[in-house]
Structure 1
Amino acid sequence: MVSSSHEALHRIFQKDPALLTRALQQVLNVPFPEPLEFAAMNVDLTEVEPVERRVDTLVRVRTDQGEYLLVVESQRRKDEAKRGSWPYYLSYLYEKFRCEPVLIVITQSSATAAWAAEPIHRGLPGRPSMTVRPLVLGPHNVPLIADAREAERDVSLAVLSAMTHGSGPRVAAILESLVAALRTIDAESAAAFVQFVDSCLDDPRAKEIWRDLMAAVQYFWRHPLAEQVREEGREEGREQGREEGRLEAQAEMTLRILEWRGIRVPDFVRERVRGCTDLRQLELWARRALHASDVAELFDDERGTQLTEAP
């Protein structure tokens, strides 16, 4: 299990290290050469005597133009101490491996991104002996992918989009598009990406949307994260009554999905959904809610039934 958003941001690069070079090329327009081979490296930069120092992710990339070290750091907030440690990391790595280090900072905050992008000068004012210019990926430049077809073209980039834009106003559309894209890849990779996103979503509303969307995806329930969600549901069910709790939770999930997708839900539809005592029917309505364009599409199989408010 991924235990934190900090860890999740780096596990995705371990899962798909090529995402790093694509982000440099496509997001930051850095002319990074096409990679031929990737090799994950030990992130411990501790020397024999000095204080322990670690980077978050370290990947060695072999290209036809030479080898590079991709040094990835994630930042939630400003940390002036990093303006001292980052130049040290790069100098140490170059001295140890004799190949060019590339510093990449990942953040979910636009303010932190602006701070991290500021050049670090060491030496005389106006004539620095060393200048470090971090390459920064964040909500200001990572594409906001809220279209299912776009997400399917590059699922890893769609995951990074969800991680960096997870507290923004379009989070529901972003997560819905990602769910559609995850259905197009193998179950093992999809389950790993599910966990990365779940660990990275700090905003409670975004996490709730993600958990509800995942309830309709079959592969999700074979992943360890599913056990945690099911246990939470079981605990809630014990407090409210097992069957009653499951029915209520499923009904509310259906209504929330419709609301998050911007579909107007009349009061009489709320009453109908909340009054349903058939769990399978509620699960069907929840799946339809993911793609419906209006509330009438929830009840497509009930021919002859008019969806109108009672007088």
Structure 2
Amino acid sequence: MTAISAGKASIIVRAWSIADNVLRMPTTEHEAVALLFRNRPQLAADLLGNVLDVAVPEFDEVQSESGDLTEVVPSEFRADVVVVLRTDRPVLGVVVEVQRGRDPQKRWSWPLYVTSLRARIECPTVLLVVCVDAAVASWCAKSIPIGHPGWALRPLVLGPDSIPVVTDADEAENLPELAVLSAMVHGSQRFEVLDALHKGVLCDVDDERAQLYADVVLAALQTEYARSYLEALLIAEKYEYQSSFAKRYFAEGEARGEARGEAKAILAVLDVRGVALTGEQRARIEECLDLSQLQKWVRLAAVAGSADELFD
């Protein structure tokens, strides 16, 4: 293993004591997992063959291609990552989707992704869905009937129970993106996963990737204790992460925190005034990130006689 470079010696002294809502932003985690496959398209083949026991054909190279799967339909359809295994021609296409929640629309678009890529590269194509939540993984694994007799799409789903637990530094060094994914999912409970990530990846890959991957894992860890543990490993090397991912993450986090504060104010006013909300209406307020809309609801909450008046 290589020694830590001088550039890496600048990586994390900054405290990551940010509110949990900032550290669990769905768009950022979604982007981070997709990035692992873009950085190393081979990861798709590894997971299919070694984890999901899918028969992967012999191939000489792996390429990440455009995820734009729009065909003749007016709407745009874009997969998170598209990976193509090749010899002298394409031998397998993999549509990789990162899913953090139940999205019924995907059950309509996923079959299109598969058939569109299959038509484009003219070879067998599979759908690989990566989930960090077990309940979401179970939902994604349900068969999707197309309507044509005998034709249904059953997504290949990689959930937290099937994502490998990488605790060996040598394995982490050989498969850095898999080690990052493992740390994101298992690092909150298994600190030896964080040890392997630190020794096998963060101390070995180039500075830019080390900065990005540490930011990604710190953001995904579910407990302050786990984040503090990884920080301690990084502080020992006097790291200070300054990746563009982190900078964008903080900016988005501040905006999300402000929106969450507005949502709490709206709900407090409505509760005090005795205005009843359905679970769906309450979730609509809590999940809204549009500050202008939230500020409008704050003003209406003070005078609305019912939830219908608030939303109408």
Superposition TM-score, scaled by structure 2 size = 0.62
Superposition RMSD in Å? 3.2
Partner of residue 77, structure 2:
53
The answer to whether the aligner puts 1:216 opposite 2:240 as a matched pair is no
> Whole-Å Cα distance in 1 between the matches of residues 83 and 50 of structure 2?
19
Change (3 A) 1:210 1:50: farther
Q: 1:123 aligns to what SS in structure 2?
A: coil
* Aligned mate of 2:128, from 104, 111, 125: 104
Q: Deviations over 1:19-53 (max 9, x none)?
A: 11111111111121243122222222234652222
Q: How far apart are the structure 1 equivalents of 2:182 and 2:49?
A: 16
Structure 1 match to 2:177: 156
In structure 1, C-alpha distance between the alignment counterparts of 2:41 and 2:107, rounded to whole Å? 25
Checking the alignment, whether the CA contact within 8 Å between 1:57 and 1:71 is kept in structure 2 is yes
CA distance in 1, matches of 2:116, 2:38: 22
| Equivalence for 1:145 | 166
In structure 1, C-alpha distance between the alignment counterparts of 2:246 and 2:73, rounded to whole Å: 44
The one-letter code sitting in structure 1 at the alignment partner of 2:136 is T
Question: 1:180 and 2:204 equivalent?
Answer: no
Structure 1: runs of 5+ lacking an equivalent:
230-311
SS of the residue corresponding to residue 147 of structure 2 reads strand
Shift of 1:173: 2.7
1:86 aligns with 2:106: no
Q: Which structure 2 segments of 5+ residues have no match? A: 1-24, 250-312
One of 211, 219, 223 as aligned partner of 1:191 = 211
> Residue deviations 1:262-289, cap 9 Å, x none?
xxxxxxxxxxxxxxxxxxxxxxxxxxxx
Alpha-carbon separation, structure 2, partners of 1:156 and 1:131: 31
8 Å Cα contact 1:221/1:227 also seen in 2: no
1:6·1:200 contact (CA, 8 Å) conserved in 2? no
Q: Could you tell me how far 1:119 is from its partner in structure 2?
A: 1.8
Alignment of 1:116-135 (within 5 A): 116-123=140-147, 128-135=149-156
Instruction: Count how many residue pairs are aligned between Structure 1 and Structure 2.
Output: 225
Equivalent residues of 1:117, 1:136 under 8 A apart: yes
Letter in 1 for 2:99: Q
CA contact (8 A) 1:120 1:133 kept: yes
Deviation at 1:142, TM superposition (A): 1.3
Counterpart selection for 2:86 from 39, 58, 62: 62
Give, in angstroms, the shift of residue 200 of structure 1. 3.7
Residue 103 of structure 2 aligns to a residue whose secondary structure is coil
Cα 1:26–1:175, aligned 2, differ >3 Å: closer, same or farther?
same
**1: distance between equivalents of 2:246 and 2:135?**
34
Q: Whole-Å Cα distance in 2 between the matches of residues 97 and 149 of structure 1?
A: 36
Normalised to the residue count of structure 1, the TM-score between the two structures is 0.62
1-side partners of 2:38 and 2:240: how far apart? 21
SS at match of 1:190: helix
Native 8 Å contact 2:61 2:85 kept in 1: yes
Q: CA deviation at 1:8?
A: 0.5
Tell me the equivalent position of 1:40. Answer: 64
Q: How far apart are residue 216 of structure 1 and its match?
A: 2.7
Given the superposition, is the C-alpha separation of residues 219 and 102 from structure 1 closer, same or farther in structure 2, using an over 3 Å criterion? farther
- 1:150-207 CA distance string (max 9 Å, x none): 434432221121123245x22x332122111122344344333223324444555544
Please say if residues 107 and 164 of structure 1, whose CA atoms lie closer than 8 Å, have aligned partners that are also in contact: no
1:55-96: CA deviation from partner (whole Å, max 9, x where unpaired)? 111122214784322101111122222111111211222233
Determine the C-alpha separation between the residues in 2 that align with 1:132 and 1:147: 36
Q: Greater CA deviation, 135-144 or 47-56?
A: 47-56
Q: Give the 3 Å change call, closer, same or farther, for CA 64–116 of structure 1 in structure 2.
A: farther
Identity across the alignment (%): 39
Contact persistence 2:44–2:83 (CA under 8 A)? no
Contact 2:97 2:130 in 1 (8 A): yes
Q: Give the partner amino acid of 1:181.
A: G
**Rounded Cα–Cα distance in structure 2 between residues aligned with 1:174 and 1:216:** 18
Matched, 1:115 2:112: no
Structure 2 counterpart of 1:14, from 38, 47, 54 = 38
Q: Mark the CA change 1:91 to 1:102 in structure 2 (over 3 Å): closer, same or farther.
A: same
Change (3 A) 1:52 1:203: farther
Per the alignment, do residues 91 and 210 of structure 1 end up closer, same or farther by CA in structure 2, a change over 3 Å counting?
Answer: same
